[in-house]
Structure 1
Amino acid sequence: MVPQLYIGIMSGTSLDGIDLVLTDFTTKPSLLGSCLIPFPASLQRELRSLAEPGNNEVERIGPAEHQLAECYAAGVKQLLKQVNYLPEQISAIGCHGQTIRHRPNQLQPFTMQLGNMHLLAALTGIRVIADFRRKDMAYGGQGAPLVPAFHQAVFAKAGKNRAVVNIGGIANISLLQADGTITGYDTGPGNCLMDDWVSLHRQLPYDKDGAFSAEGELLPELLQQLLADDYFQLSAPKSTGREYFHLGWLRQKLTGLEAPADVQRTLSRFTALSIANELQLPNLSEVFICGGGVHHPVLMADLQQLLTPAKVQSSSSAGVDPDWVEAMAFAWLAQAFDKQLPGNVPAVTGARKACVLGVSYSP
């Protein structure tokens, strides 16, 4: 049997770095290796800036895409060296790209993920599958989230109602029901507001071990204001991004008199509630958490409190490392493209039909 080896690359809205995995799909998905490549500080700042409306964006996008492809390629080379594989042994790279805009609800909906995929293929010598979202949007879908199909393949169990929650910059859920049906959508902010707030007040990239949140007290009035946003009243399918939930959005809700630690504690509860409110399902038995949020003890404790009696646990309990689930999902989408299998779930995205997602870029 010829090995089916795919690299998955994911750089999400948290902008904490580039996740890369090597996954073997010869039988069941098997993680062979992984690595995290930090963004150069200047590129991280530029990508964060491009995620919000600004000046001279077209002129700035070109260099950002070039540098991003170089970072992706450096990560691929590091990963292959780490696992002792050669480029010619890899079937393809599945690359999500870096989202800077996601506007699925406009009259002319669009989404934009940066990354010069031709350059990535040229630098690595490996075929690249990318541009996964726009085919779904062409058929009326939200273009996101795209991980539920992978979640179903890995986490679903007949006869059990399960949920998978990915808490990256934005949080998304996959509801895997006992009868085999699946739904899912973006619930709202995951770590993005917490990361931005701790960066502003503690000059830290994220709230390590939930320490900043643990210092604060809940602000009930602020919490209610945050939850009153129109996004949480929308019916699924729905998706969002950092271009909507950012510091400017948060500042509009503040008086300026709040203690920074109290705001951080409230943001943690806000993320937990915006997720838990969407998981109030009868007979929900297990909730698997993946993404950076799994390492935030305050957030995890809030989720367990809000979702009891369901058991809230890391995806590692199902044999999938929580830090690499999304990158594995895009490796899975690349092999689905090669097999000409649908990569979207219309019940999740709202697309008119199931589609093969992606575009192939040859080296």
Structure 2
Amino acid sequence: MHNFFIGIMSGTSADSLDGCIVSFENEFKLIETESVDFGKNYKKVYEECIKSGYKVISDSNKLLQIEKILDEKSIELVEKLINKSGIEKKKISSIALSGQTVFHTNKRSYQIGNAQEVANASSINVCSDFRNFNIKQGGMGAPLIPAFHKYLYAENNTNKVIFNIGGIANGTYLKGEEISLASDVGPGNCLIDFYASKYYGFPFDNRGEIANQGAINEDLLIKLNESVKNMSYPRADDKNDYYNLVNDSISDVAPENIMRTVTEFTALKIEEFYKYCDSPDQVIFHGGGTKNIYLMKIIQSKIDTNVRTTDDEISSKFVEAAAFAYLAYKNQGIIFKPKL
């Protein structure tokens, strides 16, 4: 059996489709990486679907519209990765297709992305539906990357926390060579992105520059913290868990102060998990949120040790794609074989 795997990841931030070719033979090796943009309307329509509470593709033509884009971009990304790497298709064991999460609870999860279509177009086996596979095994379906965190970072007699700041933030507490706790921990980028789009027309707060101009609104911060005080670990969050926290009652708060406050809230939820895990000496980050320099500055001010990103091992942008490839390598999803 060949030991090359392609990982294709579209996270809840829905900013791009990221892919990599990796090998797990003897040790982890990153062979190639590539990203493709979805175009300007994909994220907008995706967010509209999330806020509307759509749970299956038959609920809306909008879901059909963005699934078609996702499938086309996935096929394009696979071809780009193979062409760049020079690896023959027959040497690829499978494509790990994360899909785009539309709805998630601890008991059921739904992603768009037609794994069978990608398998047919690429002539390569596709491994997908990882979240429902995990739920059927007794898990919560999210977060799924702790197994890869363990594979990369577990070390005897050393405690670490690895955070992924995507649309939702999640954390893995490694106590020695074992996963002590893995959980979603807070909103990650989703509230920051939501208000950047609502008030400024931007898909995200570039480098945190808008938040850096604002001031914390204490009333709003108290409201946010009160709203989530009963959310315990471990858990799997849905973006609507956070979108539903804030309503029109904040209309009298200046936009830059809203941005500063939700950025603070995001950092506080990460700090909370870090302290819950007994404040380990090593704290490692990956995900799109690491590009928000102001957010990372706030996080660093709340954590007692120097934080770093995964970039020494693998670019933080491609960790999740590699993690899904690892899940495919471990047979933790459903296999779709090409129908030619």
Interval of TM-score (by shorter of Structure 1 and Structure 2): over 0.9
Alignment check: 8 A CA contact 1:3 1:26 kept: no
Letter in 2 for 1:66: K
Q: Which of 66, 69, 85 is 1:67 aligned to?
A: 69
User: Residue in 2 aligned with 1:180?
Assistant: 178
Alignment check: 8 A CA contact 2:174 2:180 kept: yes
TM-aligned CA deviation for residue 225 of structure 1: 1.0
Distance 2:84 2:240 in 1: 35
TM-aligned CA deviation for residue 196 of structure 1: 1.3
User: Residue in 2 aligned with 1:36?
Assistant: 35
Change (3 A) 1:179 1:29: closer
Q: Which of 88, 96, 99 is 1:97 aligned to?
A: 99
User: Residue in 1 aligned with 2:325?
Assistant: 331
Q: What SS does structure 2 have at the residue aligned with 1:163?
A: strand
User: Residue in 1 aligned with 2:311?
Assistant: 316
TM-aligned CA deviation for residue 199 of structure 1: 1.3
Letter in 1 for 2:202: L
Structure 1 residues not aligned, in runs of 5+: 338-356
TM-aligned CA deviation for residue 60 of structure 1: 4.3
Alignment check: 8 A CA contact 1:173 1:186 kept: yes
Distance 1:297 1:26 in 2: 36
User: Residue in 2 aligned with 1:85?
Assistant: 87
User: Residue in 1 aligned with 2:334?
Assistant: 359
User: Residue in 1 aligned with 2:212?
Assistant: 214
Structure 2 residues not aligned, in runs of 5+: none
Q: What SS does structure 2 have at the residue aligned with 1:334?
A: helix
Distance 1:304 1:202 in 2: 27
User: Residue in 1 aligned with 2:233?
Assistant: 236
Distance 1:290 1:226 in 2: 25
User: Residue in 2 aligned with 1:250?
Assistant: 246
Task: Please report the RMSD computed on the Cα atoms of aligned residues, expressed in angstroms.
Answer: 1.8
Alignment check: 8 A CA contact 2:227 2:245 kept: no
Query: How many correspondences in the alignment?
Result: 334
Distance 2:326 2:142 in 1: 16
Distance 1:179 1:94 in 2: 26
Change (3 A) 1:5 1:179: closer
Alignment check: 8 A CA contact 1:3 1:25 kept: no
Distance 2:233 2:250 in 1: 32
TM-aligned CA deviation for residue 182 of structure 1: 2.7
Q: Which of 146, 149, 160 is 1:148 aligned to?
A: 146
Q: Which of 270, 278, 299 is 2:273 aligned to?
A: 278
Alignment check: 8 A CA contact 2:130 2:333 kept: yes
Letter in 2 for 1:255: I
1:50 aligns with 2:25: no
Q: What SS does structure 2 have at the residue aligned with 1:101?
A: strand
Change (3 A) 1:76 1:139: closer
Distance 1:362 1:307 in 2: 46
Distance 1:299 1:47 in 2: 24
User: Residue in 1 aligned with 2:255?
Assistant: 260
Letter in 2 for 1:88: K
Alignment check: 8 A CA contact 2:133 2:334 kept: no
Alignment check: 8 A CA contact 1:161 1:283 kept: no
User: Residue in 2 aligned with 1:304?
Assistant: 300
Distance 1:283 1:207 in 2: 28
TM-aligned CA deviation for residue 59 of structure 1: 4.5
User: Residue in 2 aligned with 1:122?
Assistant: 120
TM-score (normalizing by structure 2): 0.92
Alignment check: 8 A CA contact 2:224 2:245 kept: no
Distance 1:208 1:117 in 2: 33
The percent of aligned pairs where both chains have the same amino acid is: 30
> Pairwise mapping of residues 153-172 of structure 1 onto structure 2 (< 5 A)?
153-172=151-170
Q: How big is each residue's C-alpha offset from its partner over 1:213-249, in whole Å with a ceiling of 9 and x where there is no partner? A: 111111122112111124x423222111223222x53
User: Residue in 1 aligned with 2:195?
Assistant: 197
Letter in 2 for 1:27: N
Q: How big is each residue's C-alpha offset from its partner over 1:122-166, in whole Å with a ceiling of 9 and x where there is no partner? A: 111111000111122224431111100110010122111100000
Alignment check: 8 A CA contact 2:220 2:250 kept: no
